[in-house]
Amino acid sequence: MAFRYLIEKASEERKSRIVLALDLSALPKDLGREALKKRALKVLREVNQYICAVKINMQLLLPLGLYFGVKEVVDEAHSLGLPVIIDCKLSDVGHTNAWATRHYFEAGFDAIIINPIIGWEQGAQPVFEVAKEYGGRGVILLVYTSHKAAPESYELLVRDPESGLDKPLYVIFAERAVRWGADGAVVGATYPEKVKAVAEVLRNKVPIFSPGVGVQGGRIEPCLKAGSKYFIIGRSIFNAEKPAEAAKFFRDLAWLEG
């Protein structure tokens, strides 16, 4: 089933725009793999009714392994009716991208985040082809990150090979999201003005996923007004004394404001 349908269905059913970033981290010497997996599953079960999707990145993938611990987390999310995104920010050459994408989808992931810096031919194109082959899995482009140094790269003026005009890099990435038919665009909630600029390029054709709410200082309200559809939130939920209450707080804020 297509990723866009899955996340929209979960969002409507749970009245939520929150994607749980299950980015729990621990070295094996500090916390055993089983303990880390159990903590991830515990958080997921506690907050599942308040979220519309789950995002997993290297902090969980590396210690647990793709086809073992992480697959168990993915399967549990699916049993709860939640789609799962792999946040690998894929950015290699085409044949490697296709190989990696197949493995992620074989492990059950419903969508993948990639870096559009790789371009289309022998870059992003194989990822989109594999996603289509697997029944409409999602491909989400990283357009503007949430950390403080993001402007150093994403606001660089570069020559757009399509138009020949000089544009900020993030604008070119947003245009690629539309042209390539992406299923999402990541724009940090710490930069609501960039959310607005990207939304103007996307014209409601591609939903915006915004990380950075809470710990990084991003706020839901201005980003909703600017055009964000989903909010990727991790530490402010799973490090809370009561994760379910934190997830409900963000769920209610994003849904009622929207």
State the catalytic residue, choosing from 9, 89, 196, 225.
89
Q: Is 20 helix (H, G, I), strand (E, B) or coil?
A: strand
Per-residue exposure over 26-37, b if at least 16 CB sit within 10 Å of its own CB, e if not = eeeeeeeeeebb
CA distance 95 to 115: 15
Q: Are 213 and 219 in contact (CB under 8 A)?
A: yes
Nearest to 248 by CA among 239, 232, 237: 237
Angle at the Cα of 71 from the Cα atoms of 87 and 123, rounded to 5 degrees: 35
Length in residues, the chain:
258
Q: Are 162 and 173 in contact (CB under 8 A)?
A: no
Looking at residue 121, the DSSP 8-state letter turns out to be I
Burial label, 81 (beta-carbon count in 10 A; 0-12, 13-18, 19+) = middle
Catalytic: 71?
no
Q: How many CA atoms lie within 13 A of 189 on its CB side?
A: 25
Catalytic residues: 89
